[in-house]
Structure 1
Amino acid sequence: MTDLPTTARRGPADPVKALMHRHRALCERAVDPLEIAAGLEAHGVTDRTAARFRHRDVFSLAEELYARVPRDAATADPAAEPTRPSAVWALWALLPGAVCTLAVTGVQLTSGGARPALGALGAAAFAVALTLTLRRGPLRAGPGARPLARICAGWLMAYAIGGDGLLSDALSGGPDGLWALDPAAATGLAFAVAPAMWCAHLFSVQARRKLASSRGLAEFSGRSRPLLLATAALFIGGLAVCLAAAQLAYGPMEFAACVALGLLLWLARLLAAHGFSGAATKVLAAAAGAELLALASVFAGRLPGLTLVGRPVADAAGTWGVGVVPAVVCGAAALALLARAAAVLARASAHCDQ
């Protein structure tokens, strides 16, 4: 909303009064001036706009609005609200990794027809554990979360576990039966849920502190972007540790592809947690579609007259290995989401409810 009250342009004796009435609901329910500043920014009010109301920045304008608008006596005082102990969801963050480890170990210890059944049961248990975990911590999806994002994320995880084996068999003329799965990738990514949640919590807390100490929207944006990049680097480090431990326990994996996928899923969930699920859903859908298209092109290349269709994937896999497909796809998607996150999570309005 960029249109401003005409009274502000004409320079009345009290230029803030019209703005105060226009955003009265926001001011009445705000628990601190920061929430008003974030709400004004979300409605298109900038530091330049604040100057028209005789304030140096949006934060100063929000402080006056907060002081002048009476609030309901029942409005909660943020300082008096009990802080939810982080140990609760911090421990829950370990549950997906533990469930996945039990499932992988169980599959490896069984044989015959019980093995696929146990694998399916383990996958279902992991999905339940992951869902319960994400609902409790800082990565819980905000308003507007879309089921398509979960479907695409599930496909990307499934490809990381079994896609390379299927592609390898397809390039050699198969598959003639069950193809190889990657227990190391499954376990490493499952345990990476813990650093994902811890890093998301760290980013939210530090962003809120920088919001409180900033004296303008531009200053906050300039301080929040390096924070996002540093947190992403910290998560990559934690992810790499989880993947390396899984690799030692279960054997080799496509390490670069798993790092790219882990970063992609973390950024998508971080955006969704801050209310920007639209971009996350689109990028996840594009990545899942690209992997599906790569597999389909190999099978389509077996049809008469369509040999060239599967040639690009076959040539790339022959040169760099089958892991090049998820590494390139997820890496490009992760970079796209990182750029989007650097833009939208630098807004004060992205943190007003955190």
Structure 2
Amino acid sequence: MTIDSAGRGTAPLHDGGRARGDADSARDGLPGTRGPAGRRAAVDPVKALMHRHRELCERAVDPLEIAAGLEAHGVTDRTAARLRHRDVFSLAEEMYARAARDGEAAPRTGTPVPPGPRASWAALALVPGALAAAVVAGLRLTEGQPRLAVAAFGALAVATGLHFAFRRGPLSTPHRTTGAARAWTCWLIAYALSGDALLIAARDGAPHGPWPLATAPVLALALGCAPAVWCAHLFAARARRRLDASRGLEEFAASVRPLLLGVFGLFTAALCGLLALCGAALHEPPAYAGAGALGALLLLARLLTARGFAHVPARVLAGAGAAEAVALATVLAARLPGCSFLAAPVDGLVDAAGAGAVPALACGAGALVLLAQATRTLTRASAHAPPAPPP
């Protein structure tokens, strides 16, 4: 028992309890409760938290953006409860109001300027499919050297159309993707165009070109850029609305998870319809398994990259591309004397399910990994915070 300046008795604090409280505060990003002289250093923990996240408060246009930023920095509903708030959203509302009132970091009061008219990026999403259809028509009408020229210039034109289609809109990335990710993406599309035919030719002992091109799956993937962009916009818009209505991080995650799965299923259904349409129009196998898995993989990779989660998609794209390359390399290497055993796994897979099983397994496994990653990261409030303005 100690005596304070007014003569009242006070019970001593237990050092272990105080230490545990300080450890919890440090772990959740809160300022400590004791100063170097043993006195309480943070009389107002909310004010101290505002100082710690001053930049976030300066650029926030509403309390939801502060809530998303706090979650990204590790502040949870449990942390908010220790600050006498029911959840992170309530804590963010107080921080936003106090910043505007006290002049700590006066947030902007205007609404953010939209990146551009919606019709602009919605129309640009149709450009890759239109260019790919023109290239396929040119390939059907030409032969020999002109056909090679059409293929070369057509590939460049489609790549340019994809670049402009993804520069704006819900699948645009604030930072450029790595060169390795772009290279593996090009390889996966090239394999969808001619990989199955090359694999069959290598197994038959005559891997000499030219090989028949699977134009129907690639055309469907190019046409699928439009539903991919529209589905991404639907997901972003609905997630933002649920962020406005949610009163807790767990509640928001539980409401967004079925939305993400529903949008992913909607795109998959649209892509399957395009594969069927292109296969019937060009009289080619639609390659539902291989092209469908590749389309799902590319959508999830771009969706994660656009939200700032680029590391895992780059690794998964590299893994899927490497798996296809290794499968093809083992079949070619099996032609060397004494190396026939190298092709045994691929031969068994192709004999059982056809050449399309190789890209279906490689891209399908990658798509499942990215789907699990998306359900973990894209259901966070911080994944839907508006991007920071350029300095």
Same fold (TM over 0.5): yes
Q: Structure 1 pair 319/129, CA: closer, same or farther in 2 (3 Å)?
A: same
- Where does residue 221 of structure 2 map in the other structure? 189
The correspondence for 2:87, drawn from 20, 37, 57, is 57
Cα distance per residue 1:282-310 (max 9 Å; x no partner)? 00000000000000010011112211111
- Where does residue 7 of structure 2 map in the other structure? none
- Which aligned pairs between 1:123-134 and structure 2 lie closer than 5 A? 123-134=155-166
Q: Structure 1 pair 82/221, CA: closer, same or farther in 2 (3 Å)?
A: closer
Structure-2 separation of matches of 1:84 and 1:201: 14
Shift in Å, 1:44? 0.5
Corresponding letter in the other structure for 2:53: H
- Where does residue 37 of structure 1 map in the other structure? 67
**Does the residue aligned with 1:69 lie in a helix, a strand or coil?**
helix
1:5 matched to 2:31: yes
Cα distance per residue 1:5-35 (max 9 Å; x no partner)? 1139969653311111111221121000001
Q: Provide structure 1 residue ranges, at least 5 long, that are not aligned to the other structure.
A: none
Answer with 20-29 or 197-206: which moved more: 20-29
- Which aligned pairs between 1:179-328 and structure 2 lie closer than 5 A? 179-251=211-283, 252-328=285-361
How much is the aligned-residue C-alpha RMSD, in angstroms?
1.9
Q: Structure 1 pair 147/220, CA: closer, same or farther in 2 (3 Å)?
A: same
- Where does residue 19 of structure 1 map in the other structure? 49
Contact 1:8 1:18 in 2 (8 A): no
Answer with 210-219 or 244-253: which moved more: 244-253
Cα distance per residue 1:237-295 (max 9 Å; x no partner)? 11112111111111223211111100000000000000001111000000000000000
Q: Structure 1 pair 335/74, CA: closer, same or farther in 2 (3 Å)?
A: closer
Corresponding letter in the other structure for 1:68: R
Q: Structure 1 pair 345/8, CA: closer, same or farther in 2 (3 Å)?
A: farther
Cα distance per residue 1:71-91 (max 9 Å; x no partner)? 677935117x45732111111
Q: Structure 1 pair 255/8, CA: closer, same or farther in 2 (3 Å)?
A: farther
Structure-1 separation of matches of 2:214 and 2:64: 47
Structure-1 separation of matches of 2:161 and 2:274: 18
Structure-2 separation of matches of 1:303 and 1:268: 37
Structure-1 separation of matches of 2:342 and 2:69: 51
- Where does residue 337 of structure 1 map in the other structure? 370
Cα distance per residue 1:82-116 (max 9 Å; x no partner)? 57321111111111011001011101101122111
Structure-2 separation of matches of 1:255 and 1:239: 9
Cα distance per residue 1:284-341 (max 9 Å; x no partner)? 0000000000000100111122111111101211221100000111111100000000
Structure-1 separation of matches of 2:257 and 2:125: 26
Where relative contact order (Cα < 8 A, 6+ residues apart) is larger, the structure is: 1
Shift in Å, 1:176? 2.4
Contact 1:184 1:253 in 2 (8 A): yes
Q: Provide structure 2 residue ranges, at least 5 long, that are not aligned to the other structure.
A: 1-26
Structure-1 separation of matches of 2:297 and 2:85: 40
Q: What is the total number of aligned residue pairs between the two structures?
A: 353
Shift in Å, 1:142? 3.2
Structure-1 separation of matches of 2:330 and 2:298: 25
Contact 2:81 2:87 in 1 (8 A): yes
Contact 1:144 1:277 in 2 (8 A): no
Contact 1:7 1:18 in 2 (8 A): no
Q: Structure 1 pair 238/76, CA: closer, same or farther in 2 (3 Å)?
A: farther
Answer with 181-190 or 9-18: which moved more: 9-18
Q: Structure 1 pair 306/2, CA: closer, same or farther in 2 (3 Å)?
A: farther
Q: Name the TM-score, length of structure 2 as normaliser.
A: 0.86
Contact 2:59 2:107 in 1 (8 A): no
- Where does residue 155 of structure 1 map in the other structure? 187
1:173 matched to 2:205: yes
Shift in Å, 1:145? 2.8
Structure-2 separation of matches of 1:155 and 1:2: 43
Structure-2 separation of matches of 1:180 and 1:156: 17
Contact 1:135 1:141 in 2 (8 A): yes
Answer with 309-318 or 339-348: which moved more: 309-318
